[in-house]
Amino acid sequence: MLYKISLGTSDINKYRLIQSRELIDEVVSLGKDLKGLRLCHINSTPFGGGVAELLVSYIPLLRVLGIEADWQVIRGDRHFFTITKGLHNALQGAPLEEIKKQSVRRRYLSNNLSNARELDPNYDVFIVNDPQPAALRHYSPESKAKWIWRCHVDSSQPDATVWNFLRPYIQEYDAAVFTTKKFVPKNLRLGKITTMTPAICAFSSKNMFIKKYVCREMLENLGFDHNRFLVTQVSRFDRWKDPFGTISAYRLAKKEIPGLQLAMIGSFAQDDPEGWDMYADIQAEANKDDDMFIYSNLTGIGNMEVNAFQRASDVIIQKSIREGFGLVVAEALWKETPVIAGNAGGIPLQMTGNLSNYLVNSVEECAEKIVHLLRDPALCQRLGEEGKEIVTREFLMPRLVRDELRLIKSLVNK
Amino acid sequence: MLYKISLGTSDINKYRLIQSRELIDEVVSLGKDLKGLRLCHINSTPFGGGVAELLVSYIPLLRVLGIEADWQVIRGDRHFFTITKGLHNALQGAPLEEIKKQSVRRRYLSNNLSNARELDPNYDVFIVNDPQPAALRHYSPESKAKWIWRCHVDSSQPDATVWNFLRPYIQEYDAAVFTTKKFVPKNLRLGKITTMTPAICAFSSKNMFIKKYVCREMLENLGFDHNRFLVTQVSRFDRWKDPFGTISAYRLAKKEIPGLQLAMIGSFAQDDPEGWDMYADIQAEANKDDDMFIYSNLTGIGNMEVNAFQRASDVIIQKSIREGFGLVVAEALWKETPVIAGNAGGIPLQMTGNLSNYLVNSVEECAEKIVHLLRDPALCQRLGEEGKEIVTREFLMPRLVRDELRLIKSLVNK
């Protein structure tokens, strides 16, 4: 089960340059209180998706604070992950007929059983992310550890059958954490239910400061004309991210803003055939328009390029229809780039104040906001500053560390 | 067949800053001579591997010069590409039993036939890259265009059966181009056989100038300690790149240089199950060593990160056992980083002069050179400068454009 992931390093004191002394002091003090605590985060994939993105910067920060934090990834075969992808979608409300089959339930549970058997019993706290490994707690009956289930998706209206299946396993945990209150399924009964939003690392290659001229140079080398406007969407090629809605909005906006350019940047995760089909469809759209560019991790676009796109684009779009949190929104706001985003899931938690005017519910609204923003650079700048303030205050790693360590402290001191 | 690829832009005049006036003048003048020429490069993949890497910067440069250059990618299914991967390996000398089957030959040929039927007949010149689309010329009997076959692999000792199968199709071309004379199969009979080496783009995100402190900051964020040495290999997870040889050499060198760090950076191409297995094996090795890091395009490593690694590593290793050309060697040399590389394929063409002392034939030799270089920073600097001179003179895009346009001019003027 153990799978070494090349982790970053972190330095909590770097955050003193950008965050309040109270916050960092509290984080350091929580670290001291919990010094030597053995903590294990468990999820189902070493890369691809928000949870892995988060843990890769989060775990090193805990270690710096004196927590003996590890990250382990459960094993599973293609069948198991097909089931768990279904569970994941079902928590977001999509029906999953297969879950009625005994064989499907058995496969899910026997996988969790065999992973549970490989767990090191000496951890003090396990934090289990999302439904894939949710039954690990059930199969660790002897465990003296505290168990936290962390749900990253919008589970406000889960498919009833799937939820009835999962709920008893989740109710065995000491605590459950959701991104926002709205996401907590109504009939969940548990000792402690709490909320905390995810966060981004200010210093990773995705978010580190890169001078604007370097970003522009990179974009120019890729073929963009910096005399014309550029709007960009960064997200997996997934229907919930509504890429075709983004393309339609771009086309509408282009009628008002001739020469407008669009970049669609996606990444492919392991075993994601849906992503491939959608990529081909988006590619077909791009064939019709010289100003539309498609990029992915397969064409050499990595974290630094995404960073550069988020900094050098005039507007970032994230037209999600459903969204757990939407880390890319925080990433773009952190870079002072104005964002137009779907009014879905955890996005409104980030787009507060004046930014909430740029939450959209339709293609037309999205197009209109694009035109509005591109015509008003002073407004863009004000929104950019406001966005950065919000992220600095609420969505950087130390705040998440504080929330999680507070929770842990409350559990282990019981 | 047509597949739009998001191409970069290019500016030949940027090269005037770094290359000789004679070269750029000749390139511009060749462009004038061939103004309006319709040229089509054909290969089998829009990304992954050296040919795609090359064309993405090469085609825009031709366009700037006045050539109507296009890039088209042949279609094929999994079966076809399994066959062509076999042909590719067979040109490098690996046997391919399947080629004796009529059904396999038929599938290869019928794919080429159907792709040939989709070709626009109005091109003046077709340049067909590698064996996958090699029979296109055969299936275009009416074509008035000039046809060039460009072979990128070391085909000095091809598997005899495969070569006998392919040779007649290749001999229908007007010209064939190899990376070096050594690679030309002995019994190839053709109007014109010539050689030219590939080249890199000095201004792409992979090779553009990035200040060293930014590169170091990125590496630090990834977890590297810049108080200790770092050696890096950048290459696909492929046995011909000998990743385990690199790891063994690193381990030997580490006995002399305590704290030595190793980064192995690879990328996954579409449909490459071999890559996945090898990745898992390399990962298993990394589990045993806290100073060994594995990265790939799936964990957010893109062109800019590779650029940063090539600039901020103390030594770049490319321990290939077989190699067409090895663009990564030129990339590292361009950045003034010393390179230790396998004495294979096209690598010795790049590692000339004092650099040839760092061509290695064994793990032990590789380890010894690592220790030698890390102990002599002044030597590293001298080698770095020498490497950059070599690349500037021989392995940047304008030289390749010149070679190809000279060849085309000689063909179309006949």
What are the Cα distances from residue A56, in Å, to A66, A201, A301? 17, 9, 19
Pair A182, A156: CB distance under 8 Å: yes
Pair A24, A398: CB distance under 8 Å: yes
Amino acid at position A165, single letter: F
- Choose the closest CB to B299 out of A47, A223, A308: A47
- Choose the closest CB to B298 out of A47, A60, A306: A47
A149: closest CA of chain B, how far (Å): 25
Task: Please tell me the distance from the alpha carbon of residue A309 to that of residue A317, in angstroms, as a whole number.
Answer: 12
Is the pLDDT at A379 greater than 90? The verdict is yes
A223: closest CA of chain B, how far (Å): 4
* pLDDT (tens digit per residue) in A358-370: 999 999 999 999 9
- Choose the closest CB to A7 out of B223, B303, B306: B223
pLDDT value of position B278:
83
Q: Report the residue of B303, B304, B305, B397 to disrupt the A interface, i.e. the one with the largest count of A CBs within 10 Å.
A: B304
Smallest CA–CA distance from B53 into chain A, residue: A299
What are the Cα distances from residue B222, in Å, to A311, A392, B300? 21, 22, 11
Task: Please tell me the distance from the alpha carbon of residue A60 to that of residue B223, in angstroms, as a whole number.
Answer: 9
Contact state of B287 with A2 under an 8 Å Cβ cutoff:
yes
Q: How many Cβ pairs within 8 Å bridge chains A and B?
A: 122
Average pLDDT over residues A25-53: 91
pLDDT value of position B413:
82
Contact state of A222 with B8 under an 8 Å Cβ cutoff:
yes
Query: Residue A291, SS3?
Result: coil
Smallest CA–CA distance from B262 into chain A, residue: A6
Smallest CA–CA distance from B215 into chain A, residue: A205
pLDDT value of position A222:
87
Average pLDDT over residues A144-148: 97
Smallest CA–CA distance from A290 into chain B, residue: B6
pLDDT value of position B7:
73
Contact state of B283 with A3 under an 8 Å Cβ cutoff:
yes
Average pLDDT over residues A225-234: 95
B235: closest CA of chain A, how far (Å): 13
* pLDDT (tens digit per residue) in A250-275: 999 999 999 999 999 987 765 555 67
* Helix residue ranges per DSSP H, B157-231: 160-170, 212-222
Higher pLDDT, A237 or B341: B341
A178: closest CA of chain B, how far (Å): 26
Task: Please tell me the distance from the alpha carbon of residue A291 to that of residue B91, in angstroms, as a whole number.
Answer: 39
pLDDT value of position B315:
98
pLDDT value of position B276:
73
Is the pLDDT at A282 greater than 60? The verdict is yes
Task: Please tell me the distance from the alpha carbon of residue B74 to that of residue B70, in angstroms, as a whole number.
Answer: 13
Smallest CA–CA distance from A305 into chain B, residue: B304
pLDDT value of position A28:
97
Q: What angle do CA B6, B7, B10 make, to 5 degrees?
A: 155
pLDDT value of position B300:
84
Q: Report the residue of A54, A59, A221, A232 to disrupt the B interface, i.e. the one with the largest count of B CBs within 10 Å.
A: A221
Contact state of B6 with A210 under an 8 Å Cβ cutoff:
no
Q: Which helix (H) or strand (E) holds A194?
A: strand A193-195
Which is nearest to B69 in space by CA: B81, B56, B60?
B60
In a structure prediction context, what are the per-residue pLDDT tens digits for chain B, which is 414 residues long? 556 566 766 789 899 999 999 999 999 999 999 999 999 999 988 777 788 889 988 999 999 999 999 999 898 888 898 899 899 989 999 899 999 999 999 999 999 999 999 999 999 999 999 999 999 999 999 999 999 999 999 999 999 999 999 999 999 999 999 999 999 999 999 999 999 999 999 999 999 999 999 999 999 888 899 899 999 999 988 888 999 999 999 999 999 999 999 999 987 765 555 677 788 888 888 888 889 998 888 788 999 999 999 999 999 999 999 899 999 999 999 999 999 999 999 999 999 999 999 999 999 999 999 999 999 999 999 999 999 999 999 999 999 999 999 999 999 986
Confidence tier at A53 by pLDDT (50, 70, 90): confident
Q: Which two tokens stand for residue B223?
A: 């977890």
Task: Please tell me the distance from the alpha carbon of residue B126 to that of residue B71, in angstroms, as a whole number.
Answer: 10
B74: closest CA of chain A, how far (Å): 15
Query: Is the Cα dihedral A185, A190, A192, A197 positive or negative?
Result: negative
Smallest CA–CA distance from A264 into chain B, residue: B6
Residues of B in contact with A295 (CB under 8 A): 6
Average pLDDT over residues A187-196: 96
Contact state of B295 with A6 under an 8 Å Cβ cutoff:
yes
Contact state of A305 with B203 under an 8 Å Cβ cutoff:
no
pLDDT value of position A150:
98
Which residues lie across from B340 on neighbouring strands? B317
- Choose the closest CB to B304 out of A268, A283, A305: A305
- Choose the closest CB to A298 out of B48, B214, B294: B48
pLDDT value of position A22:
96
Contact state of A9 with B220 under an 8 Å Cβ cutoff:
yes
Pair B391, B19: CB distance under 8 Å: no
User: Using CA atoms in the order B112, B114, B120, B121, what is the torsion angle rounded to 10 degrees?
Assistant: 80
Task: Please tell me the distance from the alpha carbon of residue A168 to that of residue A165, in angstroms, as a whole number.
Answer: 7
Contact state of B302 with A298 under an 8 Å Cβ cutoff:
no
Contact state of A300 with B303 under an 8 Å Cβ cutoff:
yes
B16-30 residues labelled b (16+ CB within 10 A) or e (exposed): eeebeeebbebbbeb
Q: Which two tokens stand for residue A317?
A: 């779009």
Tell me the average pLDDT of chain A: 92
Place of tokens 């075709």: A244
Which residues lie across from B342 on neighbouring strands? B360
Task: Please tell me the distance from the alpha carbon of residue B320 to that of residue A407, in angstroms, as a whole number.
Answer: 51
Task: Please tell me the distance from the alpha carbon of residue A302 to that of residue B284, in angstroms, as a whole number.
Answer: 24
Pair A318, A235: CB distance under 8 Å: yes
Contact state of A283 with B205 under an 8 Å Cβ cutoff:
no
Query: Is the Cα dihedral B135, B138, B143, B147 positive or negative?
Result: positive
pLDDT value of position B297:
82
Residues of B in contact with A268 (CB under 8 A): 298
- Interhelix angle A303-312/B303-312, rounded to 10 degrees, is 120
Q: Report the residue of A3, A63, A226, A303 to disrupt the B interface, i.e. the one with the largest count of B CBs within 10 Å.
A: A303
Residue A289 neighbours by CB under 8 Å, 6+ apart: A251, A262
Contact state of B287 with A210 under an 8 Å Cβ cutoff:
no
Confidence tier at A10 by pLDDT (50, 70, 90): confident
Task: Please tell me the distance from the alpha carbon of residue B140 to that of residue A259, in angstroms, as a whole number.
Answer: 39
Q: What angle do CA B127, B130, B136 make, to 5 degrees?
A: 60
Pair A397, A57: CB distance under 8 Å: yes
Contact state of B47 with A298 under an 8 Å Cβ cutoff:
yes
Contact state of B221 with A210 under an 8 Å Cβ cutoff:
no
Which is nearest to A14 in space by CA: B220, B311, B216?
B220
Residues of B in contact with A283 (CB under 8 A): 3-4
Which residues lie across from A176 on neighbouring strands? A149, A193
Higher pLDDT, B286 or A130: A130
Contact state of B9 with A223 under an 8 Å Cβ cutoff:
yes
pTM: 0.90
Expressed in angstroms, the distance from the first to the final Cα of chain B is 30
Contact state of A305 with B60 under an 8 Å Cβ cutoff:
no
Higher pLDDT, B76 or A381: A381
Q: What is the DSSP string of B55-110?
A: HHHHHHHHHHTT-EEEEEE----HHHHHHHHHHHHHHTT---GGGGSHHHHHHHHH
Q: Can you list the domains of chain A with their CATH numbers?
A: 3-199+396-413 (3.40.50.2000), 212-394 (3.40.50.2000)
Is the pLDDT at A331 greater than 70? The verdict is yes
Confidence tier at A281 by pLDDT (50, 70, 90): confident
Contact state of A47 with B305 under an 8 Å Cβ cutoff:
no
Residues of B in contact with A304 (CB under 8 A): 218, 302, 304-305, 308
3-state class percentages of chain B: helix first, strand second, coil last, to nearest 5: 50, 15, 35
Q: What angle do CA B328, B330, B333 make, to 5 degrees?
A: 110
Contact state of A6 with B308 under an 8 Å Cβ cutoff:
no
> Of A62-76, A84-98, B349-363, which one has max mean pLDDT?
B349-363
Contact state of B294 with A218 under an 8 Å Cβ cutoff:
no
What are the Cα distances from residue A205, in Å, to A47, A391, B241, B295, B375? 15, 17, 27, 13, 30
Smallest CA–CA distance from A218 into chain B, residue: B205
Q: Report the residue of A304, A305, A311 to disrupt the B interface, i.e. the one with the largest count of B CBs within 10 Å.
A: A304
Q: Which two tokens stand for residue B240?
A: 């011909």
Task: Please tell me the distance from the alpha carbon of residue B357 to that of residue B338, in angstroms, as a whole number.
Answer: 11
Is the pLDDT at A9 greater than 80? The verdict is no
